[in-house]
Amino acid sequence: MDKSSTQEKSSPIVVGLDIGTTKICAIVGRRSKNGKIEVLGIGKAESAGVTRGVVSNIDKTVQGITAAVEIAGTQSNVEIRVVNVGIAGQHIKSLQHRGLITRRDLQSEISRKDIDKLIEDMYNLVMPPGEEIIHVLPQEFTVDSEPGIKDPIGMAGVRLEANFHIISGQVTAIKNIVKCVNKAHLESQELILEPLASSESVLSDEEKEAGVVLVDIGGGTTDVAIFHEGIIRHTAVIPFGGNSVTEDIREGCSVMRNIAEQLKVRFGSALAEENKENEIVCVPGLRGREPKEISVKNLAFVIQARMEEIVEHVYYEIKSSGYEKKLIAGIVITGGGAQLKHLPQMVEFVTGLDCRVGYPNEHLAKNEVLPKNVYEELQSPTFATGIGLLIKGIQKMEYTGEVQQPAEVKIDKGTKYTEDKKFGLFGKILESGKKFIKDDIKDEDFLK
């Protein structure tokens, strides 16, 4: 029994819930023995109630969340009750602030408790009406007039100061997300800004240290996060994304929305010059009408115009952050929109910075639990935010040292652990101890 409870404590099962404009995605996972992320299940559903990252229809969003969570729960054999939710949208703002505390106990070293108190004080800042603080991110600390300290824990000092990057959002938008999660009979453990989550899954520590811009191109919004010397320096949300491109194609080529989406995914390109003049796509006509011929080059002109506008917005954010000349690692693009052909070249043309596509597979453990096609799909930039939310949730539980699991493994008499449902040692322990747990031992004893 001790062995199983130790295993349970060391690798809590966590759920990330990405409520996006185009899809709602739930990912169940935990940290494997080698420190990587082991995904146990993934559920996807269409998102019909979210516009530009903000909930616009509660019921449709609740349906999407319920569907995604059900699929993920069935696949991982986990009963999902608590989730880590992503938040984005045009209402997100960021500001810099400085805080300080004077320590009474001069004999002791600076501890995590002191830093937590400093962060808690920041949450009490007076915000404009209708705004609420989502994240307080410490940057450099100053101990007794000694600046530029990244980690002051263990140092001696009286006066502890810090620069903070504070991210706020609209109270109504935050409440609507929480309401949707609660209506789906779930509890939100934490609200996490989506670009911060994406950066966890696709950026390396070296890139964050060197200076990098993360650009997450989603369906309704494009999220920007700038890192330098390992610290987040700037965040922004641009209210354009892949859906804006689809709408442009729909109007520019006079086709239905679903056909516009297919044209973008299959034949779209961010650089018109890279396409030949004589390439034509034939689109079936409506109800017996003649098929429509669309030039691939013209399609690329429509896409290029909108993508250039989005990248110009990103470049404006880079310039206004003041870190334009300090970004050695350049730009990393991720999200569904990053799969557009020739986009990295176009970003390099517009900004003059190096660009690569960010894939979340760097942090993923090799997985025998998931079907092969699901595991391969998981490595797409589309799931960068979902996997990032999962990583953030695991980090939070490791930081606070919580024992309670936000998701419980189902132990039903009727549930037979089939080969594809087993996951490693934990599954074997549960299977062997199933009848004892059910009949003789209470849950409290099991957690001891």
Q: Tokens standing for 24? A: 């709602």
Q: What is the pLDDT of residue 71?
A: 93
Give me the mean pLDDT over the 292-307 stretch. 92
Dist. CA 167–CA 232, nearest whole Å: 11
- State the amino acid at position 393 in one-letter form: G
Confidence bin at 89 (pLDDT 50/70/90): confident
Q: What is the pTM of this model?
A: 0.83
Both tokens of 49, joined, read 């109630």
Mapped onto helix, strand or coil, the DSSP state of residue 347 is: helix
Amino acid at 170: Q
> What's the pLDDT tens digit per position in 329-346?
999 999 999 999 999 999
Distance between CA atoms of residues 49 and 66, nearest Å: 13
Cα–Cα distance between 157 and 160 in angstroms, integer?
7
Compute the average pLDDT of residues 239-249: 93
Question: Is pLDDT above 60 for 430?
Answer: no
**Distant-in-sequence, close-in-space partners of 71: CB < 8 Å, separation ≥ 6:** 26, 41, 42, 43, 44, 45
Beta sheet of 82-87, edge-to-edge order? 37-46, 23-31, 14-19, 82-87, 187-193
Across the chain, mean pLDDT equals 84
Give the span between the Cα atoms of 48 and 370, in whole angstroms: 27
User: What domains appear along the chain, each with residue ranges and CATH number?
Assistant: 1-80+361-448 (3.30.420), 93-170 (3.30.1490.110), 242-307 (3.30.420.40)
| Residue with the two structure tokens 């797409």 | 380
Specify the pairing of strand 222-228 against strand 187-193. unpaired
pLDDT over 60 (residue 422): no
Under DSSP, the state recorded for 8 is H
